[in-house]
Amino acid sequence: MLVPGIEIPHLCLQCEDYPCVGACPVEALSINGKTGAVKVNATRCTACGLCVKACPGNVPHLHPRGDRVVICDLCDGKPECVKTCKEGHWEALTSIPRAEVASRRALAKTPFALTREIAIQILGEETTREALG
């Protein structure tokens, strides 16, 4: 947690140009034609981290075993996280159809940038600056 009390879901926005897929030297990443989600071929992935560096939001992360990257695959078009969020009445997550967003990549931000923006909205600029040191 970057700012105490501020937790931000950090999710793949499925950029229209898929920089993570292009960065993979072993072609372990592909695009699901139905959902537009990035798929990881775990047997091909070498966990080199080049996809993480290429991602504008630094979204891909290493699996706890460290043998492959993990990227949201949208649960084959029915994201369980969105379903759970709605069932819990938290209303923090939603699934937005691709056609409704001009540029998904423009929305992609690092966890630090997202947390800072939300913290400023909640705590104000000065308190956020103090919290981040």
Residue 10 reports pLDDT greater than 70: yes
Q: What is the DSSP string of 58-107?
A: ---EE-TTSSSEE---GGGGS-HHHHHHHHTT--------GGG-S-HHHH
Q: What's the pLDDT score for residue 32? A: 94
The reported pLDDT for the residue numbered 8 is 75
Cα Rg of the chain (Å, integer) = 16
The more confidently predicted of residues 4 and 106 is 4
Model confidence pLDDT, tens digit, residues 94-109: 888 878 877 776 677 8
Place of tokens 């891909």: 60
Q: Let me know if 30 is exposed, middle or buried by CB neighbors in 10 A (0-12, 13-18, 19+).
A: middle
User: How much is the pLDDT for 1?
Assistant: 55
Dihedral sign, Cα of residue 17, residue 18, residue 20, residue 21: negative
Q: What domains does the chain contain, in order, with CATH numbers? A: 19-132 (3.30.70.20)
Rounded-to-integer distance, Cα 124 and Cα 133, Å: 14
Q: Tens of pLDDT along 17-76?
A: 999 999 999 999 999 999 889 999 999 999 999 999 999 988 899 999 989 999 989 998
Mean pLDDT throughout 77-94?
Answer: 91
